[in-house]
């Protein structure tokens, strides 16, 4: 996966003489001390990270941690005091005024917490706005805006006024407006924090569904650890203007880097973060559909199990057989194909543990995990599901 954004040693200090204060920061003076002695506010302190093309990279932190200051540096709404920001290997900090304008119009877009919509315009008029500024002809921009509206699930609302829409629908319009400009990078600054919990949950699912289709590079800001872990391919945790840990949700949950991170994630519902791929076990032995019942029994006896999954030529799961089934098949001169059971449960690698729990309760056999090609990836034992709860 290629790197889309690379940030190196980025700092942002607010005040009259930020460059002068930078020396104090580099010398180890703390954020609070700088504010008290100089009146300068440190928003971001020597931050470095990379964002891969097509991933959702979440920046998470409490109020005042620097996350919103940081995201505004990425499109230079906040001009960094120090550091470099590479987008597609170009340092945008060095852009001319014309280059920056082109960058903002063509490569990057922002979705705000409070929507930023125009109440005097219709839904389609709001989505067209950026295209209108760029001078796109009326019919062409209408077509583009309508397509963006369909992507966010608001087809048929083109002529409605903004005040006629719910909060969730308004945020979809804001997202559609950003998508209409066909940016490669989406900056989303706490876009769902003003929404009711149920609407917010729906927007999470909507964003993930949209992302599966458009594969944009998304930088998402939140103070909500559950939201961060649900949406992020990777998560950066900020404190006092610095990044204290970067990793996948599973890595941060399993290996917090310090006490601050431990405290941050202690109340996380692990079943909503861990997925089948994290709790499954690799299958040590399987039977081939070409095997005889006698061979299948030998495989089971070798590893001390009483049932075994049967796979086809491409390792696709065809069924399961037990020792008793095989013993009976030998008497009746039957093949494995004749005694295959299909009363087992199959899931994919991305299924959350919370969804595996009811499966584990009712399944008499291990749950089968298959990959995107329906090939056997692993199995989940009931004890594995239960142990993930603690």
Tokens at 203, concatenated: 């927007």
Who contacts 27 (Cβ-Cβ below 8 Å, separation ≥6)? none
Q: Give the pLDDT score at 202.
A: 83
Q: Give the pLDDT score at 97.
A: 95
- Per residue in 231-268, pLDDT (tens digit) is 999 999 999 999 999 999 989 988 899 999 998 888 88
CB atoms within 10 A of CB 278: 18
Going along the chain from its start, the domains and CATH numbers come out as 3-270 (3.40.50.300), 277-387 (3.10.580.10)
Q: Give the pLDDT score at 130.
A: 82
Tokens at 210, concatenated: 């949209």
Q: Give the pLDDT score at 307.
A: 93
CA distance 46 to 13: 11
Tokens at 237, concatenated: 């945790």
Q: Give the pLDDT score at 385.
A: 79
CA distance 112 to 195: 12
Q: Give the pLDDT score at 171.
A: 82
Low-confidence ranges of the chain (pLDDT < 50): none
Distance of CA 106 to the CA centre of its chain: 24
Q: Give the pLDDT score at 115.
A: 63
Strand 317-322 with 346-348, pairing: unpaired
CB atoms within 10 A of CB 363: 16
Q: Give the pLDDT score at 180.
A: 85
Single out the residue of 248, 78, 35 nearest to residue 237, CA to CA.
248
Q: Give the pLDDT score at 217.
A: 96
């Amino acid at each position: 996966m290629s790197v889309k954004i690379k940030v190196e040693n980025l700092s942002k200090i607010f005040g009259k003489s930020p460059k002068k204060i930078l020396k104090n920061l580099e010398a180890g003076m703390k954020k609070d001390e700088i504010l008290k002695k100089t009146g300068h506010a440190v928003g971001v302190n020597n931050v470095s990270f990379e964002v891969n093309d097509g991933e959702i990279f979440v920046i998470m932190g409490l109020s005042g941690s620097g996350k919103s200051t940081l995201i505004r540096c990425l499109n230079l709404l906040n001009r960094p005091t120090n550091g470099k920001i590479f987008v597609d290997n170009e340092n945008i900090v060095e852009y001319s005024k014309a280059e920056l304008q082109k960058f903002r119009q063509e490569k990057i877009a922002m979705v705000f917490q409070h929507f930023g919509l125009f109440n005097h315009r219709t839904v389609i008029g709001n989505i067209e706005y950026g295209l209108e500024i760029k001078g796109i002809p009326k019919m062409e921009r209408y077509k583009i805006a309508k397509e963006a509206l369909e992507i966010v699930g608001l087809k048929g609302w083109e002529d409605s006024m903004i005040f006629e829409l719910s909060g969730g629908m308004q945020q979809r319009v804001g997202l559609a407006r950003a998508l209409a400009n066909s940016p490669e990078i989406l900056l989303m600054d706490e876009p769902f924090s003003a929404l009711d919990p149920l609407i917010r949950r729906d927007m999470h699912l909507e964003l993930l569904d949209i992302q599966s289709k458009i594969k944009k590079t998304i930088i998402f800001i939140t103070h909500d650890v559950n939201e961060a872990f649900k949406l992020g391919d990777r998560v950066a945790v900020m404190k006092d203007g610095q990044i204290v840990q970067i990793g996948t949700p599973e890595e941060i949950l399993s290996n917090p880097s310090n006490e601050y991170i431990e405290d941050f994630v202690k109340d996380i519902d692990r079943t909503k973060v861990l997925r089948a791929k994290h709790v499954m076990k690799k299958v040590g032995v399987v039977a081939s559909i070409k095997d005889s019942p006698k061979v299948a029994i030998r495989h089971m006896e070798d590893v001390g199990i009483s049932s075994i999954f049967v796979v086809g030529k491409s390792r696709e799961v065809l069924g399961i057989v037990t020792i008793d089934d095989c013993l009976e098949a030998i008497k009746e001169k039957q093949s494995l194909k004749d005694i295959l059971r299909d009363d087992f449960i199959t899931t994919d690698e991305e299924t959350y543990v919370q969804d595996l729990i009811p499966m584990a309760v009712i399944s008499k056999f291990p749950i089968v995990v298959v990959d995107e090609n329906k090939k056997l990836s692993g199995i989940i034992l009931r004890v594995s599901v239960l142990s993930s709860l603690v």
